[in-house]
Every structure is written in C-alpha cells, then in structure tokens.
C-alpha cells in the first residue's frame, strides 16, 4: 500500500548528518556531538529522596490525572520567581507547565501561525525547534546571527512584509553557537517586534548556566506591551529526562496553549512536576546552580585550552559565557562536511556539522558544533588532540 502522509510531515526528512552521527555509537568514538548535561551534574541522591517522599506521603497525587495547566504549587512558585525578575506580570501574564521547552516552542507556533505565515529565527538555530516549526508549514526565515546577536537590519526587512507572526530567539549561550545576544540587540529586537506587530518567543534553556561575564536582562523583562513569550526548562538544571518545562506569556496565549495541551498529552508528568517543586523548596537551589556553573566553567575552559593548544590557527571559535556549546568555523574555502566525516571515521571524534542547524541543510556554512558538557576531562583532551591533528593536516598550522 502507498501511504499518503499529511502535508505537516511529508516535507520533513531525516537529516543527512545522521550518516555522520550514527558513528557515535561505535566503540572508541569520542562524542562532542551531544547536547546533554554532564552526568556528574545530576542531583541523584536528592531525586531519590524526594521521589521516595512523594510515594510515601501522597502516591495518588503522583499517579492520578491532573490539570492541564500544571501542578498549582509549582506554577505559583515559578510565577513568583519570574515576577521578581520582571518576567511575569500578574494580571496580564499566565504560565503553563509543559513537557520540556520543546513542547512550549512547538505549541507557540501551533497557536499563532497559519501555514504560510512567516516565522523568523536566528541562522543557525536549534534544530529541534526548527523541525517543530516546519511541521506547521510556516515560512521559516533564517536571520543572520552575528557575534552580538541577530542582524536587526535583516530582521526588519522581513518584518516589513507584514507577514511575520513569530520571532524565535535564544539570547543566552545560543544553541548551537554559544553566543549571547547583547542588551542593545535585545532592546532592538523588542522595538522591531512592537513596531511591526510580531510576537517574540524567547527561549532560555541555558540562562542559569552563566559561568562568566555579566548578566544581561531578558527581553521578557522589557515587555510592556504583552508581545513576549518566555520559555524555560528544568532540563539543564535538574534533569532532561523528567521533561518539565514552562512558559510565561500573556493570558490569551496561555489559554490557547492549554487547549492544545489537552489535545496533545492532557498534562505534563505530575510526578516530575511535584519533584521539581519539592527540589526548589527543600533543596538549596542557589548552591545547586553554583555547582553546575563550576562544572561547566571547568569543562568549557578545558576545551578552549585544548582548542588553542591543538587546533590549526585557521579555525575560529566562540568563547561562550555559559551553556554547553562551542561553535567552530573552518576557512571559507574548505569542505566542512568532509572535515566532519573524516573526524568521526578516521579520527574517532564526532562533531555536529553546522548545516544541521540551518533552515535548509543545503545552506552554506563552514562551521560545526562542539559540546563540552557530556565528555569526561580525558575525552575532552584526547578528542581535541585528534581534531587538532586533522585540522593541521587539512589547513596547516
């Protein structure tokens, strides 16, 4: 039988980079291709204790159906935390708990965008969100990402069409580049969205993982007009496996997202929501976050040290102030795919080709992404030595 798939999914194809990434499971391969938190970052003992407490004291709460908006104590706590930073306005905003920030980002496109509406994002950007947006048949437009954030002139040219519904930005330690959007660019993006009637979806999964530099206020904290939705997650600060995220946005948007939640999965895992609430209220959250920052400060510093020591001087790279990623750029005339393929096949080090993060994999880029959070220190050193040998072989000292 010939299966006729819906237009929503028929144009979404498996990534060509899978041919490279499939080698990561082979013995002896060092993977810099993941995007996972460091294994040592998980608060396993606390999670064990809290889980036992939940099932000892109120097991039915964790096992029964719950409301779509999310566990009320957790929602109330998050609202208060966001309000302190100006990222939640009582009376105007609301908040819903979602199954990871990925669901929040997908639902924003679902509730705001019709097929053919323009959705602007940084180029490059997070592949998970790009695929989610594509599934709603939006006209996805990549806006050049510069060292200090999105190109505002380029963004305005697209906004002038009057067809832009949503602007998707990852301002802190962006995935995949590790770059941080400057305060000036954040203000500029907000003013442009206001001028042309677009909504900003500010995705901030890494904001608590700043290990150097100065804090930059979120776009959401600047929002006086109800045009910013703010997506966050426990994935990078507690555990991605629990699938708990949340989004703060104007009430009208959250109301529609709640209806979508009822259609999609009824509600987010209630045990995980109670776990997150108890962790926030029973454990020393500031100390926990500081421990995470120390882990990533060390790992990032070690990878940068090894890049500077081993890589060809012709490779440029970002120096992130937080998050999990470093973005490397090869010389303009090189074959990035060949470099990434040789890296994993011949040198047993896996990296993610940069075209995986472009709207179309055919888009030209000579960059690739490195992850420093998942590998051990020994793997960071050995992997950078191998990539250094390959880079000098291909590009010289």
Percent of the chain with pLDDT over 70: 97
- Cα-Cα-Cα-Cα dihedral sign, residues 105, 261, 242, 251: positive
Domain ranges of the chain: 7-43+287-395, 63-282
16, pLDDT greater than 60 = no
DSSP 194-216: HHHT-EEEEE-SSGGGB-SS---
Q: What is the structure's pLDDT at 360?
A: 83
What are 229-288's pLDDT values in tens digits? 999 999 999 999 999 999 999 999 999 999 999 999 999 999 999 999 999 999 999 999
- Cα-Cα-Cα-Cα dihedral sign, residues 271, 274, 279, 285: positive
Q: What is the structure's pLDDT at 12?
A: 66
What are 311-346's pLDDT values in tens digits? 999 999 999 999 999 999 999 989 999 999 999 999
Q: How confident is the model at residue 25 (pLDDT cuts 50, 70, 90)?
A: confident
Query: 63-282: what fold?
Result: 3.40.640
What are 50-64's pLDDT values in tens digits? 999 999 999 999 999
Question: Which whole number is the average pLDDT over 162-171?
Answer: 97
19, pLDDT greater than 80 = no
Q: How confident is the model at residue 10 (pLDDT cuts 50, 70, 90)?
A: low
> CB neighbours of 286 closer than 8 A, spacing ≥ 6?
none
What are 90-146's pLDDT values in tens digits? 999 999 999 999 999 999 999 999 999 999 999 999 999 999 999 999 999 999 999
73, pLDDT greater than 60 = yes
14, pLDDT greater than 90 = no
Distances (CA, A) of 147 to 8, 167, 312: 34, 19, 21
24, pLDDT greater than 90 = no
Q: What is the structure's pLDDT at 120?
A: 98
What are 203-215's pLDDT values in tens digits? 999 999 999 999 9
Query: 7-43+287-395: what fold?
Result: 3.90.1150
Q: How confident is the model at residue 15 (pLDDT cuts 50, 70, 90)?
A: low
Q: What is the structure's pLDDT at 20?
A: 63
83, pLDDT greater than 90 = yes
Question: Which whole number is the average pLDDT over 365-375?
Answer: 96
Query: To which H or E segment does residue 264 belong?
Result: helix 251-264
Q: What is the structure's pLDDT at 13?
A: 62
Average pLDDT score, the chain: 94
CA geometry: angle 246, 248, 253, nearest 5 deg: 110
Note the pTM of the prediction, 2 decimals: 0.94
Question: Which whole number is the average pLDDT over 348-370?
Answer: 91
Is residue 131 a contact partner of residue 12, using CB atoms and an 8 Å limit?
yes
């Amino acid at each position: 039988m010939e299966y006729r798939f819906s237009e929503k999914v028929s144009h979404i194809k498996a990534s060509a980079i899978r041919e490279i990434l499939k080698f990561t499971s082979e013995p002896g391969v060092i993977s810099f291709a993941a995007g996972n938190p460091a294994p040592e970052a998980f608060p396993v003992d606390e999670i064990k204790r809290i889980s036992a407490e939940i099932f000892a004291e109120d097991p039915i709460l964790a096992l029964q159906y719950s409301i779509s908006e999310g566990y009320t104590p957790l929602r109330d706590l998050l609202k208060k935390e966001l309000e302190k930073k100006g990222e939640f306005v009582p009376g105007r905003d609301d908040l819903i708990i979602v199954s990871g920030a990925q669901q929040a980002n997908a639902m924003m496109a679902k509730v705001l965008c019709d097929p053919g509406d323009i959705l602007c994002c940084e180029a490059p950007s997070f592949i998970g969100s790009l695929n989610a947006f594509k599934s709603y048949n939006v006209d996805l437009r990549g806006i050049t990402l510069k060292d200090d954030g999105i190109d505002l002139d380029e963004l305005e040219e697209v906004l002038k069409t009057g067809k832009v519904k949503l602007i998707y930005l990852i301002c802190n330690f962006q995935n995949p580049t590790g770059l941080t959007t400057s305060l000036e660019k954040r203000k500029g993006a907000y003013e442009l969205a206001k001028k042309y009637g677009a909504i900003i979806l500010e995705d901030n999964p890494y904001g608590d993982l700043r290990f150097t530099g100065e804090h930059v206020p979120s776009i959401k904290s600047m929002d006086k007009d109800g045009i910013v939705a703010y997506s966050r997650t426990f994935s990078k600060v507690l555990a991605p496996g629990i699938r708990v995220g949340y989004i703060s946005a104007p009430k009208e948007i959250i109301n529609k997202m709640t209806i979508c939640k009822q259609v999609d999965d009824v509600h987010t895992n209630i045990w995980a929501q109670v776990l997150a609430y108890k962790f926030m209220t029973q454990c020393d959250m500031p100390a926990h976050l500081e421990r995470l920052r120390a882990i990533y400060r060390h790992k990032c510093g070690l990878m940068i040290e090894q890049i500077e020591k081993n890589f060809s001087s012709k490779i440029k790279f970002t120096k992130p102030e937080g998050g999990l990623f470093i973005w490397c750029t090869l010389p303009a005339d090189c074959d990035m795919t060949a470099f990434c393929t040789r890296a994993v096949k011949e040198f047993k080090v896996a990296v993610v080709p940069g075209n995986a993060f472009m709207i179309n994999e055919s888009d030209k880029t000579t960059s690739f992404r490195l992850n420093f959070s998942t590998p051990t220190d020994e793997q960071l050193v050995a992997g950078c030595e191998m990539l250094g040998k390959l880079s000098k072989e291909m590009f010289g000292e």
